[in-house]
Amino acid sequence: MQCNVAPRALTNKHPSFTCLPEPRLLFITIHVNLTQYWQQRQATFEKALNQALPKKTVRPATIHEAMRYSLFAGGKRLRPILCLAAAESLGGPLKNALPLACAVECIHTYSLIHDDLPSMDNDDLRRGKPTSHKVYGEGMAILAGDALLTIAFELVARCPGWPRYKVADLITELSRASGSQGLIAGQVVDLESEGKPISIQDLRYIHRNKTSALITSSLRLGAMSANATPTQLKTLTQFGEALGLAFQVMDDILDITQTSAELGKSAGKDVKVQKATYPALLGLEGAQKEAKRLTTQAMNALKPLGSSGQRLHEIAQYMLTRKN
């Protein structure tokens, strides 16, 4: 995780922090806490994920090796961390949320493997390593993605369910976020729009589905594992929708401001394939303003949670200043 955070992130204050006097000091304190939190939860998550996946020696070994190769290649783990943080913000135990955190990361990783294929974005670098098809060949990469998608639903199906949310509700939630009216919808319109001018509304449609849907679902699944009330679920949904868009605007910005080495994936790709992005439509400064506006919107959505929303608030603030 990057630790050099730009001071502009100091501007958005959480209500529960207002008693602290010096903003810069305050920000450093928040960031150290968040770094510790992220590292601890990530370690717990990685252990659970390792246990949830078949060992790479299990027959047929190639597919399990390929699944593990992409899963453990060094992603930021934003979605699982959001899932765990949402559960914790509502007082839910981590053990309930962990299988769901593993499931969302499996779906996310499958989408990255398939997105990198020659028939899609044709990328050779992901998470700082050669992409799955470069290492295992195209057929095996497709299968590794398919297997990750499938195991995600097995992990959810194995959950016991909770008083307000049955296992079928969890499966419906994840299916909607990742299906043809979620993640895949975004990818379809994205593919169809390459090389064409598109409106900001269409761009929002792509990003709402391609990026925001799974981010929002990660939060919702965490909340469901904590037996969230309908009001709490709505609060986290509104937070996720704005945060997901802010995350994608930042992703577009980083694509043109960072190097491939810094990103761990091919930088400048959007411009190369004439992809519609926020900086292309609004200019770099306009995109930065938009990311800030959406982050503020996300933070405001958390207000009903009071101080319980502090961790999620910090994550939103950090997302605005991330460097990869």
List contacts with ligand GRG (CB under 6 A).
75-76, 78, 108, 111-112, 114-115, 120, 127, 183-184, 186-187, 210-211, 248, 251
Is 64 or 108 the residue whose CB approaches ligand GRG more closely? Answer: 108
**Least distance in Å: CB of 160 to ligand GRG?**
28
Residues 6+ apart with CB under 8 A from 188: 180
d(CA 321, CA 314): 11
In 92-105, which positions are buried (b, 16+ CB within 10 angstroms) versus exposed (e)? bebebbbbbbbbbb
229 or 274: CB nearest ligand GRG = 274
Q: Which is nearer to ligand GRG, 76 or 204 (CB)?
A: 76
Q: How far is the CB of 113 from ligand GRG (least distance, A)?
A: 8
Shortest reach from residue 209's CB to ligand GRG, in Å? 8
- Min separation Cβ 10 and ligand GRG, Å: 24
What's the min distance (Å) between Cβ of 117 and ligand GRG? 8
| CB closer to ligand GRG out of 107 and 305 | 107
Which residue, 20 or 271, has its beta carbon nearer to ligand GRG?
Answer: 271
For ligand GRG, which is the closer residue by CB, 62 or 324?
324
Backbone phi, psi, residue 5, to 5°? -105, 135
In whole angstroms, the minimum distance from the beta carbon of 106 to ligand GRG comes to 12
The total of other beta-carbon atoms located within 10 Å of residue 210's CB is 22
Structure-block tokens of residue 38: 């992220």
With b for 16 or more beta-carbon neighbours within 10 A and e for fewer, the 227-259 pattern comes to bbeeebbebbbbbbbbbbbbbbbbbbbbbbbbe
14, 72, 78, 140, 231 from 305: Cα distances, Å = 12, 33, 21, 44, 10
Nearer to ligand GRG, 75 or 309 (CB): 75
**Of 78 and 276, CB closest to ligand GRG:** 78
We find the least distance from the C-beta atom of residue 111 to ligand GRG, in angstroms, to be: 4
Q: Which helix (DSSP H) or strand (DSSP E) does residue 102 occupy?
A: helix 94-115
How long is the chain? 324
Instruction: State the nearest-atom distance from the C-beta of 115 to ligand GRG, in Å.
Output: 4
Residue with nearest beta carbon to ligand GRG: 75
Task: Give the tokens for residue 74.
Answer: 């060094």
Which ranges constitute the DSSP H helices of 179-277? 183-193, 200-207, 213-225, 230-257, 260-263, 269-272
Complex with ligand GRG: residue 254 or 282, whichever CB lies closer: 254
Determine phi and psi for 235, rounding to 5 degrees. -60, -45
Q: How far is the CB of 297 from ligand GRG (least distance, A)?
A: 19
Q: Residues with Cβ < 8 Å from 34, sequence gap 6 or more?
A: 311, 314, 315, 318
The DSSP string of 34-57 is: HHHHHHHHHHHHHHHHHHHSPPTT
